[in-house]
Structure 1
Amino acid sequence: MLPLSERGLTLPPSPYRKLTPFAEAARRRGLTVHPLNIGQPDIETPPQMLAAVQQADIRVLEYGPTAGTDSYRQVLADYYQQQGLKVAADDILVTAGGSEAISFALLACLNPGDEFIVPEPFYGPYAGFAVATGTHLVPVASYLADDFALPPISEFEAKITPRTRAILICSPNNPTGYVYSRAELEQLRDLCLRHNLYLLSDEAYREFCYDGRFTSALELAGAEQHVVLLDTISKRYSACGARIGALVTKNQALRDVVFKLAQLRVCPPGLGQLLAQAAADLPADYFDYTKAEYLARRDLMVRRLRAMPGVRCPLPRGAFYVLCHLPVDDAGRFCQWLLEEFDLNGETLMASPAAGFYATAELGRQQVRLAYVIHHDLINRAMDCLEMALHQYPGRQND
């Protein structure tokens, strides 16, 4: 047999897609599977944005600029400026989704063997990006009992070694929904300044902050050369398939390195940029509806979960995920059992076992991430399934 790369063999599976074969098998058996495992919004992509692609007069779909089109980068700079951020078009490099922005940041800021510190639970693919870039993810645990608040700065400091180059955060957080306060971000800023570290800030869910004001890492005074904003339109406009993200930094030397990395893939998606640029024509109150809808879904799901015996569920402050404790022996086995052996009137649900969002082996074993990205009546039906499943599951724990 031909050998395969160690990198490829050690890549971890996606924590929210690993059970997909079991869900597909359940659907083939005729079951309705409610997809709470993945953050795929059901809110429609704005028609104006789709029309920009559908009505484009394109004779040749040619290569675009490596950093993204000037027109889209200016639209994106205007968007950030409306959020109170001092961002110019030249600070932005358009990427193929947020995923490429994360990859570019790790490749540009760290050497192979270097380390970056991440509060856990974290967005599962971060672990895969570490393997793919030859870097090491170092976790610092946050806990459900504390609503997954930022761990004490002393715990970050204890993890710093001569190979540490960056701290990576996600706010509003995927998978917990926690939103870091300005005070917490300022503590991280001070830590990065003391130890000359990058602060990589994944702000994919910036528009969905429900209880208080969102603070961007780009607002942190004195850290302009350290902060790297990682962004995407995927969740903002329900445009996951457009594959348009951005890396934003005031650090010119870093931008130059990222630009060379971007040249390797030539340019970001041209049609995706056309779609994203049309967001400039959306009404000023566009996010009022989507934010209110997700807030109502959050409240519904949390209310249903908290009414189930043995379930512990913090209140997410942003994004559209709930990370909760279930009274089961192992959440991975339970989620697979839901798809293989359970149904309620021909329905079941798909959830993401939370162990895939942790690097520390013993954490998250009884937790799942649920995405409230489906309509209210479907959330209720999925919660009916979960409530009954917790009664029937052979591995239920009375804790």
Structure 2
Amino acid sequence: MLQISERGIQMPASPIRKLAPLSDRAKANGVKVYHLNIGQPDLPSPQVALDAIRSIDRKTLEYSPSDGFRFFRENLVNYYSKFDIHLAPDEIIVTAGGSEAVLYAFMACLNPGDEIIVPEPAYANYMAFAVSAGAVIKTIPTSIETGFKLPEIEKFEALINPKTKGILICNPNNPTGYVYTADEMEQIRLLVKRHNLYLFSDEVYREFIYSDAPYISACHLKEIEEHVVLIDSVSKRYSECGIRIGCLITKNRKLHDTVMKFCQARLSPPLVGQIAANASLQENGSYMQRNFDEYRCRRDFLIDRLNKIPGVYSPQPEGAFYTLASLPVDDADAFCAWCLSDFRYKNQTIFMAPASGFYVTPGLGKNEVRIAYVLNREDLNNALIVLEKALEAYNER
């Protein structure tokens, strides 16, 4: 009998997409499904990006350089300077989405068996990328009761051993919406410097920070510049998930050249995606401000309504467009599946992501769900009505 690889067996299924067959079946039967499960923005992409795609006049859709078009990287330098991140074009590598950037960072920095420390809950695909690289994720649990703030630095120290090679953070965080404080970032900086670690920092949601606290990038941290690997993507800020454009940023030349080997092996990042992403950099600020204001209003509406549902609790996220909510159920995986397969309210149901898939530690997040507020407020309101009705019906069974 043919065998599947151990790597394939260990690869986790996506908690965001694994219930999709149930959703597809419901929709095929004419049921309205409110998608709260996936961070697919519903806001329009920048018009300049759409126009750039429509006006492509190339006779051939050619390969681009393996690190992306230089004109795009030069324009990205200007973009990052607005956030006090000062780069040269050759410190930016364009990738096929932020996902490829994370994978190549792991492949270039970690040997099989090496360990990285990740606060949990965390973006589920980090675990998949670690499996692909043969690396091991060691988690630092955070809790909904404290709003998912980082635990004491001693918790990190307790995990560090000769196999520890890095720390991975997502700031603002997916799935919690948490934004790391200046003190937390300083503690991480000291830890990275003291133990000579990489700091992988996923910052794709930097434009969506709703508190008055300043945005602190890993690239702002002094004396660890060559330790930092910044991960970015245009998917969320420009509602351009489908063009698959991200980037990996490093001032470490040896690491840059190593990542380039993987980039050369896959030849080039998407041509049309780079054209659209480059055009998006021309937006004058009003586009981002509209999106920011809309997401903040959605957040306020969602959190207020969620916490009025009996037994439901969600802290207020300070960034991104997700929140984790605890529900009055014993098994959120079963509840989310039941909503799609069995429950209907006025021929409507909801699709949420069970939070257990964002944890590595067994048993954590069993009564939590991740909710993406990527629907307009009318649809959010309808979805929350359906959620409340579903919880009543589920607990009366």
TM-score range, shorter chain: over 0.9
| Inter-partner Cα distance in structure 2 for 1:252 and 1:182 | 28
| Map of 1:384 onto structure 2 | 385
| Inter-partner Cα distance in structure 1 for 2:16 and 2:363 | 19
CA offsets 1:309-343 (integer angstroms, 9 cap, x no match): 11111000000001010000100000011011111
Paired positions, count: 396
Q: Contact 2:46–2:287 at 8 Å: present in 1 too?
A: no
TM-score, with length taken from structure 2: 0.98
CA offsets 1:9-44 (integer angstroms, 9 cap, x no match): 221100100100111111122110000000000000
Amino acid in structure 1 at the alignment position of 2:230: L
Amino acid in structure 2 at the alignment position of 1:150: L
Deviation at 1:82, TM superposition (A): 1.3
Query: Does structure 1 residue 57 correspond to structure 2 residue 57?
Result: yes
| Inter-partner Cα distance in structure 2 for 1:375 and 1:67 | 37
What does residue range 226-305 of structure 1 map to in structure 2 within 5 Å? 226-305=227-306
Amino acid in structure 1 at the alignment position of 2:217: S
Q: Contact 2:325–2:370 at 8 Å: present in 1 too?
A: yes
Q: Contact 1:328–1:395 at 8 Å: present in 2 too?
A: no
Aligned-partner SS, 1:126: helix
- Superposition CA RMSD, Å: 1.0
| Inter-partner Cα distance in structure 2 for 1:395 and 1:102 | 44
CA offsets 1:212-252 (integer angstroms, 9 cap, x no match): 22211100111101111000000010000010000001111
| Map of 1:319 onto structure 2 | 320
| Inter-partner Cα distance in structure 2 for 1:254 and 1:30 | 51
Deviation at 1:395, TM superposition (A): 7.4
After TM superposition, the structure 1 stretch with the greater mean CA deviation from structure 2, 278-287 or 118-127, is 278-287
What does residue range 144-159 of structure 1 map to in structure 2 within 5 Å? 144-159=144-159
What does residue range 22-171 of structure 1 map to in structure 2 within 5 Å? 22-171=22-171
Aligned-partner SS, 1:186: helix
| Map of 2:14 onto structure 1 | 14
Query: Does structure 1 residue 374 correspond to structure 2 residue 372?
Result: no
| Inter-partner Cα distance in structure 2 for 1:36 and 1:366 | 16
CA offsets 1:85-119 (integer angstroms, 9 cap, x no match): 11111110000000000001101111111000000
| Inter-partner Cα distance in structure 1 for 2:182 and 2:206 | 14
TM-score, with length taken from structure 1: 0.98
| Inter-partner Cα distance in structure 2 for 1:395 and 1:185 | 46
The alpha-carbon distance between structure 1 residues 395 and 134, as it changes in their structure 2 partners (threshold 3 A), is farther
Amino acid in structure 2 at the alignment position of 1:178: Y
Amino acid in structure 2 at the alignment position of 1:260: K
Deviation at 1:285, TM superposition (A): 2.9
Deviation at 1:286, TM superposition (A): 2.4
Q: Contact 1:329–1:395 at 8 Å: present in 2 too?
A: no
Unaligned runs of 5+ in 2: none
| Inter-partner Cα distance in structure 1 for 2:135 and 2:355 | 23
| Inter-partner Cα distance in structure 2 for 1:62 and 1:250 | 29
Query: Does structure 1 residue 361 correspond to structure 2 residue 362?
Result: yes
Aligned-partner SS, 1:282: coil
Aligned-partner SS, 1:39: coil
Unaligned runs of 5+ in 1: none
| Inter-partner Cα distance in structure 2 for 1:151 and 1:123 | 18
| Inter-partner Cα distance in structure 2 for 1:29 and 1:50 | 33
Deviation at 1:394, TM superposition (A): 3.5
Aligned-partner SS, 1:116: strand
Q: Contact 1:67–1:262 at 8 Å: present in 2 too?
A: yes
What does residue range 206-221 of structure 1 map to in structure 2 within 5 Å? 206-212=206-212, 213-221=214-222
